[in-house]
């Protein structure tokens, strides 16, 4: 595992400490790694939505209802 030295603003450091004090996380490293994982997952979802929107824009119009489109999107998202 790579070791890094990072600095936090005082409000961010206080928030990190509060998360550890509440026993939500055992260390700042664990918390920061979890936040990064969450951001990476969020970026994957954003990229997926962006790709779907680009594909939709190129495909033209549809006669499907919004309920049908939503159901298909959920099905595609859940694999």
14-28: string of b/e by CB count within 10 Å (b at 16+)?
eebeebeeeeebeee
In a domain, 72, yes or no: yes
pLDDT above 80 (res 79): no
* Predicted local distance difference test score (pLDDT) of residue 59: 85
In a domain, 38, yes or no: yes
Answer yes or no: is 5 within a domain: no
Q: Is 43 domain-assigned?
A: yes
Domain that holds residue 64: 10-77
pLDDT of residue 57: 85
As to burial, measured by CB atoms within 10 angstroms (0-12 exposed, 13-18 middle, 19+ buried), residue 77 is exposed
Across the chain, mean pLDDT equals 92
4 part of a folded domain: no
Domain count, the chain: 1
Domain-embedded: residue 1: no
Give a yes or no: residue 3 inside a domain.
no
Lowest mean pLDDT among 13-17, 49-53, 56-60: 56-60
pLDDT tens profile 5-37: 999 999 999 999 999 999 999 999 999 999 999
């Amino acid at each position: 595992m790579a070791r890094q030295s990072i600095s936090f603003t005082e409000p961010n450091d206080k928030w990190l400490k509060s998360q550890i004090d509440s026993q939500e996380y055992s260390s700042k490293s664990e918390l920061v790694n979890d936040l990064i994982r969450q951001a990476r997952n969020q970026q994957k979802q954003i990229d997926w939505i962006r790709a779907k929107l680009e594909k939709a824009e190129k495909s033209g119009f549809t006669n499907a209802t919004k309920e049908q489109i939503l159901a298909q999107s959920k099905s595609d998202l859940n694999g």
